[in-house]
């Protein structure tokens, strides 16, 4: 699925959790976006890159048993929506934890991990996962 450039393009945001902050309303957005959905044209050219702390709270989660092909070797895995302290929410795996330890409302922090591999000789993709804090 996809060429190297597709993964390389987003690597800064995925490796270092870089968000965009609207210079008009000061809201923070992750994943980054070039137009603030609140301020629209008033935000154009005013979206600034900001680093996120990587700390947040589990809003909800699931343990996935029926997995897509790039994730077969990780089955089953925990996937969560995490609300970051700076405001935005994101979708990521929770690792180094038993499903029994994971609960909504628990605090988590980001770690840098391998996400998936495209086939047996394909490129290896990296990005963020989360561990219980």
Partner 1 sequence: MSDVYIVGAGETKFGELWERSLRELAVEAGLRAIENAGVYSRDVQVLYGSNSLAGIINGQENIGALLSDFSGIAENNIPAIRIEASTASGGAAVRQAYLAVKSGEYDLVMVGGVEKMTDVFGTELIDLTSSVLDREWEAFFGATPAALAAISARKYMSDFNVEKDALAMMSVNDHLNASKNPDAQYKNKLTLEQALNSVSVAEPLNMMDCSPVSDGAAAVLVASENYVKKHKLDGVKILSSADAQDYLALHSRKSLYTLESAKVASRKALERAKIKIDDVSFAEIHDSYSIYGLMELEDLGFAQKGMAKELVYEDIKLNGRIPINPSGGLKAKGNPLGATGVGQFVEAYRQLKEKAGERQVKDPRYAMLHNMGGTGSMSVVHIVGGE
Work out how close the CB of 66 gets to partner 1 at its nearest, in angstroms, rounded to a whole number: 5
Cα 69 to Cα 72: distance, rounded to the nearest angstrom: 6
**CB of 126 within 8 A of CB of 78?**
no
Strands 28-29 and 18-22: antiparallel
**CB of 58 within 8 A of CB of 94?**
yes
Query: Which of these ranges, 15-23, 42-50, 66-74, lies near partner 1 under the rule CB under 8 A?
Result: 66-74
Which element (helix H / strand E) includes 71? none
Q: Which of 60, 111, 124, 133 binds partner 1 (CB under 8 A)?
A: 60
54 binds partner 1 (CB under 8 A): no
Q: Which is nearer to partner 1, 50 or 67 (CB)?
A: 67
69 binds partner 1 (CB under 8 A): yes
Lookup: tokens for 67 = 């997995």
Q: Which is nearer to partner 1, 23 or 77 (CB)?
A: 77
Q: Which is nearer to partner 1, 31 or 122 (CB)?
A: 31
Q: Which of 3, 45, 65, 100 binds partner 1 (CB under 8 A)?
A: 65
80 binds partner 1 (CB under 8 A): yes
76 cis-preceded (ω within 30 degrees of 0): yes
């Amino acid at each position: 699925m996809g060429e190297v450039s597709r993964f390389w393009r987003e690597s800064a945001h995925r490796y270092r959790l870089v968000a965009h902050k609207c210079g008009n309303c000061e809201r923070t957005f992750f994943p980054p976006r070039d137009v603030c959905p609140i301020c629209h044209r008033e935000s154009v050219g005013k979206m600034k890159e900001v680093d996120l702390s990587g700390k947040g709270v589990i809003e909800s989660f699931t343990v996935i048993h029926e997995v897509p092909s790039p994730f077969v070797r990780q089955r089953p895995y925990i996937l969560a929506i995490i609300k970051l302290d700076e405001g935005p929410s994101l979708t990521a795996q929770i690792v180094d934890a038993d499903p029994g330890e994971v609960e909504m409302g628990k605090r988590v922090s980001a770690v840098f991990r391998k996400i998936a591999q495209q086939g047996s000789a394909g490129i290896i993709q990296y990005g963020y996962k989360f561990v219980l804090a």
